[in-house]
């Protein structure tokens, strides 16, 4: 039996048990089905046709050297969080910038120069810092994955290229170095939006602890890797952080997680 037929038998068994027959019955090219980035659903996703969304998404693709990784719903979530945060006092922060696809989409969507806020963009621009990889993450193969990504030129190593990408916007600080070492260079006392995408738990926990006292009421921390298989160490550290601060993390089907400060 072919792998495809075997997988279909498993899917059919799950469909039979749990009743997701609508999803199984629809062809993968059906425009009514959203099917990308590990997520498949029949739910409405007409945000993908909104001109403002399309403009912002295209700017993110441009930042990523024209490569479209088909992250529409993930970017939609980031834009929704950013739109909410734009109405609050406080600046924006992203830790784990890479080429700047998400933050470029956000700034385009919000007409950044009109807001009067600062955006702090932190990244090693060298891949993961081995000093902050836990033993469990080593066992999960994080260092090997990091090297494969580096070998594939998927991590941006040229900080000048990133600075050039953001040159159209005002009040942007691109900070090169490892979190937590660079957190003190974020010289703001009020933060409304934090996006974490560093692929390992220690720097993400450090960022949580550093920015939480600065996060304004209603401010949000968006976690890129929270619900992804293979990123359980990050989920565990965010869950512990949330418990310690009497909040919970919202699971999102995109693999993201969301923390809102009451």
Q: Is the model's pLDDT at 79 over the cut of 60?
A: yes
Q: Is the model's pLDDT at 58 over the cut of 60?
A: yes
So what's the pLDDT on residue 2? 42
The CA distance from 179 to 181, in Å, is 5
> Which of 19-33, 68-82, 169-183, 226-240 comes out lowest in average pLDDT?
19-33
Of 209 and 11, which is predicted with more confidence? 209
| Band (19; pLDDT cuts 50, 70, 90) | very low
Q: Is the model's pLDDT at 16 over the cut of 80?
A: no
Q: Is the model's pLDDT at 9 over the cut of 50?
A: no
Summarised one tens digit per residue, pLDDT across range 105-160 is 999 999 999 999 999 999 999 999 999 999 999 999 999 999 999 999 999 999 99
Q: Is the model's pLDDT at 12 over the cut of 60?
A: no
| Band (21; pLDDT cuts 50, 70, 90) | very low
Q: Is the model's pLDDT at 6 over the cut of 60?
A: no
Of 6 and 184, which is predicted with more confidence? 184
Q: 87-101 burial, b if ≥16 CB within 10 A, otherwise e? A: ebebbbbbbbbbbbb
What value does the mean pLDDT take over residues 51-56?
98
Q: Are 150 and 122 in contact (CB under 8 A)?
A: no
The backbone torsions φ and ψ at residue 142, rounded to the nearest 5 degrees and listed phi first, read -65, -40
So what's the pLDDT on residue 4? 41
Q: Is the model's pLDDT at 28 over the cut of 90?
A: no
Token pair listed for 253? 């089907």
So what's the pLDDT on residue 15? 39
Token pair listed for 61? 């693709």
Domain map (residue ranges) of the chain: 47-260
User: What is the CATH class of 47-260?
Assistant: alpha beta
What value does the mean pLDDT take over residues 21-38?
69
Q: Are 194 and 93 in contact (CB under 8 A)?
A: yes
Q: Which residues pair with 95 in a beta bridge?
A: 122, 196
So what's the pLDDT on residue 222? 98
């Amino acid at each position: 039996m072919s792998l495809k037929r075997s997988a279909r038998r498993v899917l059919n068994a799950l469909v039979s048990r749990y009743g997701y027959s609508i999803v199984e019955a629809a062809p993968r090219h059906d425009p009514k089905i959203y099917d990308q980035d590990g997520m498949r659903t029949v739910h409405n996703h007409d945000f993908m046709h909104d001109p403002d969304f399309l403009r912002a998404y295209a700017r993110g693709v441009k930042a990523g050297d024209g490569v479209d990784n088909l992250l529409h719903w993930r970017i939609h979530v980031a834009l929704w969080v950013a739109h909410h945060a734009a109405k609050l006092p406080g600046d924006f922060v992203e830790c784990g910038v890479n080429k700047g696809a998400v933050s470029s989409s956000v700034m385009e969507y919000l007409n950044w120069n009109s807001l009067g806020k600062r955006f702090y963009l932190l990244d090693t621009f060298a891949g993961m810092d081995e000093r902050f990889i836990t033993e469990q993450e080593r066992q999960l193969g994080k260092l090997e994955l990091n090297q494969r990504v580096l070998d594939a030129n998927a991590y941006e190593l040229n900080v000048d290229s990133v600075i050039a990408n953001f040159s159209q916007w005002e009040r942007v600080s691109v900070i090169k170095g490892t979190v937590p070492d660079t957190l003190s260079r974020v010289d703001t006392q009020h933060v409304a939006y934090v996006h974490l995408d560093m692929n390992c738990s220690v720097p993400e926990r450090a960022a949580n602890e550093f920015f939480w006292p600065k996060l304004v009421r209603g401010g949000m921390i968006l976690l890129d890797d929270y619900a992804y298989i293979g990123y359980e160490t990050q989920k565990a550290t965010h869950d512990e952080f949330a418990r310690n601060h009497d909040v919970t993390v919202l699971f999102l089907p995109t693999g993201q997680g969301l923390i809102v400060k009451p």
